[in-house]
């Protein structure tokens, strides 16, 4: 994903269409001078609709969209003809997109499937024609119902990447390097902090043509939940991940402390993130020997872990197996919880 092409949040002003007014027409023909009311109903105003598109991965196409206005419904006509409905505004978004009210922050809709649609603003209903108001005591109503007004709102469209595994770690922990090794993704890699400025996705192949999706987000620093660094803005991209893979370099001064800091930042941002399955990868195994590893391992956090090196390939197979086992366990637990 090129950083200039990755857009994960936009704000747009939306307006649905007005309902068309009903008609107060009377039937007037050469041999039927007093034919009575025959006014038709007004058409419905257009909706503002969000639709999922599995071929999209960014909101770039909406970056310069400031307004989304649906059409108004047309007026009813004679001979009880109904006015045409206003044209809906339908815009496509990537899977994992949510829409929020720009004023209240209330979530309006969530898109997780290809082709799924959600009406963000409903068009006004068309007014009833005068034929509906005819009665034995009022056989010639000269009025009709106006259409309902439009609805306006500022909408925040926000993308949360859908992935099976989210990589969590400090800058330079080796997340992007790992992603480039286990998938076809080509994230920018450099020996300096914050090389990754936007989330990256990669499909990781497993046995028997099976695979899972891995997401790399910009590195987290201590204080990210308070707005420091780049991590806060992108932490929402791991909210949907089934498994969180914590990555800490083998040359860290205190692996357990680093793990605690990362966990604290996630909890401060969203306490629900700490309920997800947690795995640990100790990266840069090529920097230590067996003796050092023997001294490090007993002090690691009490979660499944593996020592890896994306440079030499050490532990990569074991890492995939650990992830796959826990992904299936998570899926199975979710199914049991719904029974």
Is residue 197 domain-shared with residue 149, that is, in the same domain? no
What whole-number distance in Å separates Cα of residue 308 and Cα of residue 301?
A: 16
Q: How many CB atoms lie within 10 A of CB 303?
A: 13
With bands split at pLDDT 50, 70 and 90, how would you rate the model's confidence at 192? very low
Is residue 86 domain-shared with residue 152, that is, in the same domain? yes
What whole-number distance in Å separates Cα of residue 36 and Cα of residue 303?
A: 80
3-state secondary structure 112-145: CCCCCEEEEECCCCCCCCHHHHCECCECCCCCCC
Is residue 329 domain-shared with residue 180, that is, in the same domain? yes
Residue 13 pLDDT greater than 80, yes or no:
yes
Is residue 63 domain-shared with residue 136, that is, in the same domain? yes
With bands split at pLDDT 50, 70 and 90, how would you rate the model's confidence at 266? confident
What whole-number distance in Å separates Cα of residue 278 and Cα of residue 332?
A: 16
Q: Tell me the average pLDDT of the chain.
A: 84
Domain count, the chain: 2
Is residue 136 domain-shared with residue 170, that is, in the same domain? no
CATH number reported for the structural domain that contains residue 105 in this entry: 2.70.210.12
Last residue of a domain, one of 159, 185, 202: 159
146-160 residue pLDDT tens:
999 999 999 999 988
What whole-number distance in Å separates Cα of residue 324 and Cα of residue 326?
A: 5
Residue 336 pLDDT greater than 50, yes or no:
no
- Rounded mean pLDDT, 155-179: 85
Query: In sequence order, which residues have a C-beta less than 8 Å from that of residue 282 and are 6 or more positions away?
Result: 248, 249, 250, 255, 296, 300, 305, 306, 307, 308
- Rounded mean pLDDT, 61-79: 93
Is residue 89 domain-shared with residue 184, that is, in the same domain? no
Residues forming beta bridges with residue 280, ordered by sequence position: 246, 305
What whole-number distance in Å separates Cα of residue 126 and Cα of residue 140?
A: 21
What whole-number distance in Å separates Cα of residue 330 and Cα of residue 243?
A: 8
Is residue 137 domain-shared with residue 256, that is, in the same domain? no
Is residue 16 domain-shared with residue 99, that is, in the same domain? yes
Is residue 2 domain-shared with residue 79, that is, in the same domain? yes
Percent of the chain with pLDDT over 90: 42
Is residue 254 domain-shared with residue 322, that is, in the same domain? yes
Length of the chain: 339
Query: In sequence order, which residues have a C-beta less than 8 Å from that of residue 63 and are 6 or more positions away?
Result: 7, 10
With bands split at pLDDT 50, 70 and 90, how would you rate the model's confidence at 330? low
Last residue of a domain, one of 159, 188, 203: 159
What is the extent of the structural domain holding 152? Answer: 1-159
Q: Can you tell me whether residue 50 is helix, strand or coil?
A: strand
Is residue 38 domain-shared with residue 69, that is, in the same domain? yes
Residue 204 pLDDT greater than 60, yes or no:
yes
227-246 residue pLDDT tens:
555 555 667 777 878 899 99
Last residue of a domain, one of 113, 134, 159: 159
pLDDT at 281: 93
Is residue 179 domain-shared with residue 133, that is, in the same domain? no
What one-character-per-residue DSSP string does 259-312 give? HHHHHHHHHHH-GGGGGSEEEEEEE-GGGS-HHHHHHHGGGS-SS-EEE--TTT
pLDDT at 12: 95
Q: Could you give the C-alpha distances from 140 to 21, 41, 82, 93, 146, in angstroms and in order?
A: 18, 16, 19, 50, 18
């Amino acid at each position: 994903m090129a950083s200039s092409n990755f857009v994960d949040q936009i704000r747009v002003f939306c307006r649905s269409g007005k309902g068309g007014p009903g008609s107060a027409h009377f039937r007037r023909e050469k041999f039927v001078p007093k034919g009575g009311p025959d006014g038709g109903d007004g058409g419905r105003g257009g909706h503002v609709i969000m639709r999922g598109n599995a071929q999209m991965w960014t909101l770039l196409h909406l970056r310069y969209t400031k307004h989304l206005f649906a059409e108004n419904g047309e007026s009813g006509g004679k001979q009880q003809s109904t006015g045409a409905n206003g044209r809906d505004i339908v815009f496509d978004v990537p899977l994992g997109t949510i829409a929020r009210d720009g004023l209240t922050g209330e979530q309006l809709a969530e898109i997780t499937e290809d082709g799924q649609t959600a009406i963000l603003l409903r068009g006004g209903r068309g007014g009833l024609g005068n034929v509906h108001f005819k009665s034995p005591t009022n056989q010639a109503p000269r009025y009709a119902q106006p259409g309902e007004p439009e609805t306006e709102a500022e909408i925040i469209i926000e993308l949360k990447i859908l992935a099976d595994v989210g990589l969590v770690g400090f800058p330079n922990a080796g997340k992007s390097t790992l992603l480039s090794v286990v998938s076809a993704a080509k994230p920018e890699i450099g020996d300096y902090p914050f090389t990754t400025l936007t989330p990256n996705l990669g499909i990781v192949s497993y046995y028997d043509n099976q695979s899972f999706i891995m997401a790399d987000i910009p590195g987290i620093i201590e204080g990210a939940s308070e707005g420091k660094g780049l991590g806060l803005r992108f932490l929402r991209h791991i909210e949907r991940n089934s498994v969180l893979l914590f990555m800490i370099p083998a040359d860290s001064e205190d692996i357990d402390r680093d793990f605690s800091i990362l966990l604290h930042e996630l909890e401060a941002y969203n306490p629900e993130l700490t309920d997800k399955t947690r795995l640990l990868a100790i990266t840069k195994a090529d920097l230590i020997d067996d003796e050092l590893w023997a001294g490090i391992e007993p002090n690691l956090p009490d979660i499944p872990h593996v020592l890896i090196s994306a440079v030499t390939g050490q532990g990569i197979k074991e890492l995939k197996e650990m992830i796959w086992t826990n992904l299936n366990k998570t899926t199975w637990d979710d199914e049991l919880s719904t029974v």
